[in-house]
Amino acid sequence: MLKNILSLFLQENCPLCERATSQEICDYCQKQLKSYQLKQPHKFWYGDLPLFVWGEYDGKLKQAIAAFKYDKRPPIGELLGIWLAETWQNYSLINPNLSPLIIPIPIHQTKEKTRGFNQSEIIARGFCQVTKYPLKKRGLIRVRPTKAMFGLNVAEKEKNIKGAFKLGESLQNHSLSKPILLIDDIYTTGTTVKEAVKILKHQGIKVLGILAVCTPRRL
């Protein structure tokens, strides 16, 4: 009886619906979030830059991403990374003998200091817990701040992101035998990840593709 009473006091409110829960997100909201999972997350896994996306950026999933990033709830991002990994493992999209290096898309240090974390790194951490792929959290560095991409046309986006990345010290002047998978939170037009891929390929590093939690595009 005492244990049950204490468990009630130890529970916190779900950040998405305010229900009491012992988890980061309550069971009800987890079910709602999974309703935004794409039926064909591998649909665009082809071409020069294959893309694998877990869900549609809308409704409850959009709310969860906002809570994760702006209400400073890293465990939400880690959970989304775990779900991304579990779905990824349902498809045989790369050679099973490969153990690709995971590099999160970086944010500028000023934004990371304000937020307290890089959202893509948190997602990548959850992803690597499941897949056991090695994580290189500073494989890429964002060397200058950029404007928000929302509202910019394609040419403006490309100009905005050009030259924003460089290789981290651990990858500079080194040949890398392991291929790379890049991880981001939201995939929109691909302008950001294409710039990141350009930097890696210039160093002779093979990029297998992009993994993202969600996209506003209907796949």
Asked if residue 41 is part of any domain, the answer here is yes
Asked if residue 12 is part of any domain, the answer here is no
pLDDT of residue 219: 53
pLDDT of residue 173: 60
Asked if residue 8 is part of any domain, the answer here is no
Full domain range(s) for residue 171:
25-215
Q: What is the DSSP string of 73-98?
A: -HHHHHHHHHHHHHHHTTS--S-TT-
Asked if residue 165 is part of any domain, the answer here is yes
pLDDT of residue 10: 57
Query: Which residue is it, tokens 């494989």?
Result: 139
* Residue 165 to residues 28, 105, 141, 170, 192, Cα–Cα distance (Å): 39, 9, 6, 14, 10
Measured in whole angstroms, the distance separating CA 1 from the mean position of its chain's CA atoms is: 42
Closest CA to 185 of 206, 205, 213: 213
| DSSP reduced 3-state for 126 | helix
How many domains are there within the chain?
A: 1
pLDDT tens, per residue, the chain with 219 residues: 444 444 445 578 999 999 999 899 999 999 999 999 999 999 999 999 999 999 999 999 999 999 999 999 999 999 999 999 999 999 999 998 889 999 999 999 999 999 999 999 999 999 999 999 999 999 999 998 887 777 788 888 888 899 899 999 877 765 567 899 999 999 998 999 999 999 999 888 999 999 999 999 665
| DSSP reduced 3-state for 102 | strand
pLDDT of residue 141: 95
pTM for the predicted model, two decimal places: 0.91
Asked if residue 110 is part of any domain, the answer here is yes
Residues 135, 99 contacting (CB under 8 angstroms): no
Output the domain CATH number for residue 108.
Answer: 3.40.50
Closest CA to 88 of 219, 215, 192, 181: 181
Residues 69, 115 contacting (CB under 8 angstroms): yes
Residues in the chain: 219
pLDDT of residue 174: 58
pLDDT of residue 107: 94
